[in-house]
Amino acid sequence: MRTYLSDHLTGASGVISRVGWMVERYAGTSAEPVLQRLLDELRQERRVVRGLADHLGVRLSSWKPAAAVAAEHAGRLKPNGRLVQRSPLSLHLELEALRSGIAGKRSLWATLEVWSETLRLDRERLAGLRRQADDQVRAVDGLAERVRTVAFATEAAVPDVTADASPV
């Protein structure tokens, strides 16, 4: 359980770091409110994981989450094929990564839900967190659907939709 919860806390820390950066990066766009809601929910869920660890008497790794945040920061340095502009592909890739993180977290809630009686956890709360993850996936999919049409378009055919105040 220590490894399982530590690894999920690690993933959550990396995802929260990325979503926080995305909120800043897409401030003033139609993506910002969706990303801000996700960020708030993800932070709360990370607190739940820590609370579960305390409840179960599990000591979580302290270095893994820090390493995940450092790796996420390093990932921001990857080239996007443009010198000074954001690429529409960047947001699309960020949303794909975010969706993967949420899917992994959803699996955590579903697994703990199965073991809730044995671990003396609140099954209904875990089911609610699993449903919240489903809602988060739908929110990310909604954003991705709006940027997908321009993510792979040629620069000549489609303007840089992230250059103005409404990338999505």
pLDDT score at 93: 87
Question: 62-77: buried (b, 16+ CB within 10 Å) or exposed (e) per residue?
Answer: eebbeebbeebeeeee
pLDDT in tens, 70-90: 556 556 556 555 545 666 678
pLDDT in tens, 42-56: 999 999 999 999 999
d(CA 152, CA 89): 7
pLDDT in tens, 101-158: 999 999 999 999 999 999 999 999 999 999 999 999 999 999 999 888 877 765 444 4
Judge whether residue 166 has pLDDT over 80: no
pLDDT score at 75: 62
CATH number of 2-151: 1.20.1260
d(CA 92, CA 73): 18
- Name the pTM for this structure: 0.79
